[in-house]
Amino acid sequence: MEFKKIKLKFADFIELKRGYDLPSNERNKGCIPIISSSGKSGNHNIAKVKGPGVITGRSGLIGAVHYESADFWPLNTTLYVKDFKGNSPEYVYYFLKNMNLKNFSTGSSVPTLNRNHLNNIEISIHDTFKQLKQIKLLVDIDKKIDNNKQIIENLEELSQTLFKRWFVDFEFPDENGNPYKSSGGDMVESELSKIPKSWKVDTLGNYIKIKSGKRPKCKVDNKDFENVVPVIGASKIMGYTNDYIYNEKIIIIGRVGTHGVIQRFSTRTWPSDNTFVITSDFESIIYQLLKSIDYISLNRGSTQPLLSQKDIKNTKVAMPTNETLLYKYQNENDHILKMMDQKNIENQKLAQLRDTLLPKLMSGEIEIPDDIEVMEDELSI
């Protein structure tokens, strides 16, 4: 069946509206997501807009599009869809993602998206009957990605529980396989706290290698066929480039700006110059130890947070004198991290598939027949 184009002005497709101010000191504890131009940025106890909703950046970060199934509060740096005009909210979400709204931004110092500039653009869409069928595959892929993210969160929690049991509560298995501390294991005073008699207070630098990241020669905001390697910032992926520095297990922490976000990678990456890159023979232990550091106390910056390699290396940690226990923990925990890595890699492949299909489905180059159903278990990669 040939795709029947419906041509209309953007203003006849949806109505966009500016979000609302909500200063930090006026935010209350709650479960209502606060949406900024970059996505969820906290919670509040009052919703301003009923879900489902579609939100995109109005000022600052332009181009990202967010879908919220429940009620939400869009900040004033965003535009949200006030009126879907009979169109499927999910279809609108994918349609806006495919538009690459960054191309319509104005302003040099602070990019801005003016909704009035969009209203006169002529677009082509599917009819409302076909919309849900056409995006079904994209929706199923995103659901699979979300399910994997939930699995990763559960595995992360399991890994943290295991670490706490061994390295905080000191309930690692003793020579008889019983929990050490609760089975009467000897504890001694140390400069940190009471630790097992056979443990020591050491510095983190004796277990890690640390280097600074580098500024990439080129970087784009969105992944394309040439630029597929993530550029890692202090707290998240900040773009993509066409080369890589690392293709191994690494841990990345912020050097400048954001501190306290600990990121793990096991595939090709380019850590930016505002990060530190850490490698270790005891990666799973170091990963958890880095999450327990008080980075505020290590801050050397006045106007902008700043860490030094020396301060990270000199951080005091409690470690067993017998490395056999370290390797035993590694063996216990590595299978958890391996499953997390597998799910992350699967999500990368699913996202690449989704992004490849998106323009083809939106344009009608690929059309989903009415009698085709895609099952979620068929999306395993």
Which two structure tokens, joined as six digits, stand for 286?
């170091």
Query: Which position has the higher pLDDT, 108 or 134?
Result: 134
Task: Please state the length of the chain.
Answer: 381
Give the residue among 340, 285, 286 at the shortest CA–CA distance from 313.
286
Beta bridge partners of 201: 318
Q: Are 235 and 258 in contact (CB under 8 A)?
A: yes
pLDDT > 90 fraction of the chain, expressed in percent and rounded = 76
- The CATH H-level (homologous superfamily) assignment of domain 6-125 is DNA methylase specificity domains (3.90.220.20)
Sheet holding 32-36, edge to edge: 39-44, 32-36, 73-74
Which two structure tokens, joined as six digits, stand for 94?
């994918």
Architecture of domain 174-320: Alpha-Beta Complex (3.90)
Q: For 164, which DSSP code?
A: I
Q: How far is CA 223 from the centre of its chain?
A: 15
Instruction: Report the alpha-carbon distance of residue 344 to residue 35 in Å, rounded.
Output: 24
Instruction: Report the alpha-carbon distance of residue 235 to residue 232 in Å, rounded.
Output: 8
pLDDT digits (tens, 9 = 90+) for 180-231: 999 999 999 999 999 999 999 999 999 999 999 999 999 988 777 788 899 9
How large is the average pLDDT for residues 334-350?
Answer: 93
Q: Are 187 and 212 in contact (CB under 8 A)?
A: no
Q: How many CB atoms lie within 10 A of CB 10?
A: 19
pLDDT digits (tens, 9 = 90+) for 54-108: 999 998 888 889 999 999 999 999 999 999 999 999 999 999 999 989 889 887 6
Where do you find CATH 3.90.220.20 in the chain? 6-125, 174-320
pLDDT digits (tens, 9 = 90+) for 242-266: 999 999 999 999 998 888 899 999 9
Contact residues for 345 (Cβ-Cβ < 8 A; gap 6+): 266, 267
Is the pLDDT confidence value at 368 over 80? no
